[in-house]
Chain A
Amino acid sequence: MKRLLWLLVCLVGVPLLPVRVMSAEPPAAQPGGSGCLTCHASLEDEEMSKAVPAWQQSVHKTAGIGCQDCHGGSPKSMVKEQAHDPNAGYIGIPDPTAVPEQCGKCHQVQRDNYIPSPHGTVGEFIPNCVDCHSDHKVVPADVVKISTPKRCGDCHTDDILDQFNGVITGVLTPIAQAKQAAADLRPAGVPVDHIDAGADLAREMFRQKVSHVFVFQTIVPRADSVKASLKKVDTDIRAARTEVSTRRKFGIVAAGFLVILAGFIWLYRRTLSE
């Protein structure tokens, strides 16, 4: 319908980009509580206010995880002393050694992999969750980005980092490609739910067996088994693509036939005027 409209618009000669309905904004409340956000957003000291915009972009806002879930206190209160009352559970900046358990309240799989891992056992959690995922913005850890010598190179050689990157991206890239293929094929009207589900399953396997383990020898075979599970997804993607091109061929043949029929009618009409 939008495309037809587009055709209409093209006909009257107005260049116009295809209509794109914006994705729906999730109906997130303000879980941080008006108190924290109102005061901290307006504080002069940037160290004290920068958390607000960072959190507002974060997946935690969407998921309804607010300030008090990590910092404690009374988020609804507009009085500084009440909001920051230790009796209300206020802890301020969490102790770095407590961070993995703090995040692990929800991210259990990650915690369970991380705590016995080399990063969890060397010293007191080096690096910990927020070192790689940032504190308030809560971003996915980009392996390529954080594994630069600047961040990881203090302890690891470039070779090790490259190898590690290779394993991680070797799994995540095909998963992302499968998700993308499903998303691209969906509007074409071919069944893609099983492709999407297969990719999700692979991602979940990655999350449980590969991510946050940090032991090279352990994750290599696991990563391979995740990749093996994507084989069927790949076959399905190829089948779906074939289906789309079959439909197109069918359409072209049928359209060609109609045009030929129209051509004959045209010829026939010409004989009428003779």
Chain B
Amino acid sequence: MLTKYVRGVNHWLKDRLNHSVSGVNRWLEDRIELSTLITFIQTQLTKPVPKHVNWLFSFGTITLLFFASQFLTGLLLMTYYKSSAESAYDSVKFVMEQVRFGWLIRQSHAYGANFMIAFLYLHAVRVFFYGGYKKPREITWLIGFLLLGVTLGFGFTGYLLPWDQLSYWATTVGTEVAGSAPVIGKYILLTLRGGENVTGMTLTRFFAVHVIVLPWLFVFLVSLHLVLIRYKGISTLDSTKGPEKSVEDLKQEGGKSFFPNHVMKELLVALLVFTGMLIFIVYAPLPLHEKADPFNTPVGVKPEWYFLPMYQVLKYFPKLVGIIGTGLVILGLFLLPFLDRSPERHPARRPVATTLGILFVCVAVILTILGALAETDRTMFGTRYHFDTKGVPHGIAESDSAAAPPTSTPPEKDMKKE
């Protein structure tokens, strides 16, 4: 009897609820044409993606998710960050050591930057090999390339903000490289630094660019990028000579709907990537180094890994040749859709482009490794090597490293001086 009563009440409640929801719906319908909106969203969500779309096609979404994560953690960091040369370092240290979960927020932001750029690189490589930049998606590529630039700008400007030794000197070197561009180099250098040297002036302008200019640019560009992707759909592997496949064609070929099939695939990969980042955060946290000291350059200063290939290649050529050469390669990549005129998209049907692409990736990876090895000492196969700036190993005599006296007592080097 009681159950009956409860059921009755339940029914009545549901009825009320439905009634009021439909009331709200009607109210909204009159004002924002809700049904049109829902139809639009549903059409978009159920649009089929081509059959060949696999998990490699989740890299773009992961990059976007990382941007969202960076936006959130960046906002949180800003609540404690002080953007001046005097207090920036201490405020970051404060967040990491004193604020509850500050370590998590700061590590998420620092690692998130690296992951975001890594997945952006992977996304660009994926688009290249699947021919996604070809007609009629050239503009999507151009905007994507600009987004890459904005993201690298985020990395470059954000790296300085903790104001520790590595970030200070990496910025000094990085702005120096930018400043060696022909004709306008000096102007770029002074504008970036806000003076002859990296100082508090540099910090404040990098901060402004990092938290205002670039986020707005990114949101604007990524909106265009997404609209274009929704508009034209993900490209098939067919030649661009034929007409673009219609929604019906794609469905007939066995293409699954964007939601939930593809979205769930992306979410799955994204969750695993974020899990990986969490593991990195707790087991290999990124350290905050010594506070920046403009009078003391540490040995082996180099930019972050995502700039290393470009930085390393400059070492093998005369300054101007390197800068112009790198600039031309970057310009070439930007204009790729107009340089690569082949109508084929499938990587197997455009062997030259595929080979060049593989070569390019290999060279970039090798340059990154050389850049990482350069100016370090390490033991390999039982021999100690010093790697010079070009990454060439030179054997070091064992006596050099064994020269330091063996000590079991701490060296008493702090002397009292009069």
Contact = CB atoms under 8 A, between A and B. Distances in A.
B410 A172 contact: yes
Given A22-B377, A24-B298, A258-B278, A5 B368 contact: yes
B407 A248 contact: no
Interface in A4-24: 4-5, 8-9, 12, 14, 16-17, 19-24
B115, B304, B417 pick with most chain A CB within 10 angstroms: B417
Nearest to B305: A5
B415 A107 contact: yes
Nearest to A134: B405
Contact of A252 (B282, B296, B373, B376): B282
Nearest to B303: A1
A84 interface: no
Contacts of A25: 299
A21 B98 contact: no
Contact of B415 (A9, A106, A172, A265): A106
A191 to B, nearest CB: 4
A272 B378 contact: no
B376 A24 contact: no
B369 interface: yes
Given A17-B380, A175-B410, A258-B275, A2 B97 contact: no
Nearest to A145: B408
B416 A265 contact: no
Contacts of A189: 96-97, 103, 106-107, 285, 287-288
Contact of A1 (B286, B416, B418): B286
Contacts of B304: 1
A265 B268 contact: yes
Interface in A235-274: 247-248, 250-252, 254-255, 258-259, 261-262, 265-266, 268-269, 272
B30 interface: no
Interface string B250-262: 0000001000110
Given A191-B97, A251-B281, A262-B275, A172 B409 contact: yes
Given A1-B304, A262-B275, A106 B299 contact: no
Contacts of B285: 187-189
B376 A19 contact: yes
A204 B59 CA distance: 55
Interface in A163-179: 169, 172, 175-176, 179
Contact of A2 (B275, B372, B403, B406): B372
Contacts of A1: 114, 286, 304-305
Interface in B157-198: 166
B410 A179 contact: yes
B275 A4 contact: no
Contact of A106 (B365, B407, B417): B417
B297 interface: yes
Contacts of B256: 272
Given A137-B405, A258-B274, A265-B271, A105 B264 contact: no
B411 A251 contact: no
B410 A251 contact: no
Contact of B305 (A8, A259, A261): A8
Contact of A143 (B405, B409, B411, B415): B409
Contacts of A108: 416
Interface stretch (A28-36, A55-63, A216-224): A55-63
B365 A8 contact: yes
Contact of A269 (B118, B264, B288, B403): B264
By secondary structure, the A interface counts as helix
A268 B312 CA distance: 46
B418 to A, nearest CB: 7
B280 interface: yes
A48 interface: no
B385 to A, nearest CB: 11
A156 interface: no
Nearest to B277: A255
Contact of B261 (A23, A137, A258, A272): A272
B376 A22 contact: yes
Contacts of A142: 406-409
Contact of B287 (A140, A187, A255, A262): A187
A133 to B, nearest CB: 9
B147 to A, nearest CB: 20
A190 B274 contact: no
Nearest to B268: A265
A63 B415 contact: yes
A21 B300 contact: yes
Nearest to A272: B261
B299 A144 contact: no
B272 interface: yes
B114 A4 contact: yes
A251 B282 contact: yes
Interface in B345-401: 365, 368-369, 372-373, 376-380
Given A4-B114, A269-B264, A16 B369 contact: yes
Nearest 5 interchain pairs by C-beta = A251-B282, A5-B305, A191-B97, A262-B271, A187-B287
30 contacts: A1-B305, A2-B305, A8-B365, A8-B368, A14-B369, A20-B378, A21-B300, A23-B298, A23-B299, A57-B403, A106-B415, A107-B416, A140-B412, A142-B407, A144-B408, A145-B408, A186-B287, A189-B103, A203-B410, A248-B282, A251-B282, A251-B283, A258-B272, A258-B275, A262-B267, A262-B272, A265-B267, A269-B260, A269-B261, A272-B264
Interface of B: 96-98, 103-104, 106-107, 111, 114-115, 118, 166, 256, 260-261, 264-265, 267-268, 271-272, 274-275, 278-288, 295-300, 304-305, 308, 365, 368-369, 372-373, 376-380, 403-413, 415-418
